[in-house]
Amino acid sequence: MDGTGRWAQRQNLPRIEGHRRGVASVRRTVEECARLGIEQLTLYCLSSENWKRPQLELDFLMHLLEQYMIEERSIIMGQNIRVRMIGRRDGIPETTLREVDKTIDMSAANSGTRLCLAINYGGRAEMVDAVQRIAQAVERGELSASAIDEQCIARHLYTSGMPDPDLLIRTAGEMRISNFLLWQISYAELWVTELCWPEFEETVLHDAIRDFAARDRRFGGLSPS
């Protein structure tokens, strides 16, 4: 969800106001994905590299996340949305984690769109954690080295049990992956818009989905004749 700070600066507003406006884009996008029956929506909320930002900004981001978890519960439950979080929990305030966990627990039985929040997430860190868990299983004699294949690795990632993304949307014209779901997006289609995240509306989401639907996804093979 790129460009919240840049959008605010263009409006001569403080960066935190861009983050505040970005929450409205989250609300619109989540509700529209639920209405369309999208199986899963993963939002990159905070990367493991974002801790380099000013503490005031980080505190505000954590406050926004906590506030969102509380204020959106009725909508999440009403729209049958399941919430899940991926990323390392260390560094995230206990009060924020408490509200995230409460929403995850409340929505666990829901069967609609899965809303996955990537918080303190990094793709390389995810792979390191997966490799460590696999190595520990081998040390305990629960797993043999010859049994380690792609499915085994996938089971040990944060996203175990989730589908791999079909479509990766980047706002603010960013043309890089930024350490996001490095294993999972190996065959995802990329779609980039120059609009900043606070400007992302339902019509833009529709444009991305229509463009995706028109693409020829070959997964390394040939197009059907």
CA angle 62, 196, 78 (to 5 degrees): 55
What are the residue numbers of the active site? 2, 50
Q: How far is CA 87 from the centre of its chain?
A: 10
Q: How many CB atoms lie within 10 A of CB 211?
A: 12
**Under 8 Å between Cβ of 87 and 48:** yes
The pLDDT assigned to 219 comes to 74
CA dihedral sign, ordered 25, 31, 34, 36 = negative
- Name the CATH architecture for the domain at 4-121+164-213: 3-Layer(aba) Sandwich (3.40)
Instruction: Map residue 44 onto helix, strand or coil.
Output: strand
Give the tokens for residue 104.
Answer: 């995850």
Alpha-carbon span 90 to 125, nearest angstrom: 13
Going through 122-206 in order, the beta strands assigned E by DSSP cover 167-170, 189-192
Q: To which H or E segment does residue 119 belong?
A: strand 114-121
Give the closest residue to 58 by CA, choosing from 42, 47, 71: 47
| pLDDT, one tens digit for every residue, the chain (225 residues) | 999 999 999 999 999 999 999 999 999 999 999 999 999 999 999 999 889 899 999 999 999 999 999 999 999 999 999 999 999 999 999 999 999 999 999 999 999 999 999 999 999 999 999 999 999 999 999 999 999 999 999 999 999 999 999 999 999 999 999 999 999 999 999 999 999 999 999 999 999 999 999 998 877 776 665
Angle at 199 between CA 62 and CA 28, to 5 degrees: 65
Amino acid 211: pLDDT: 98
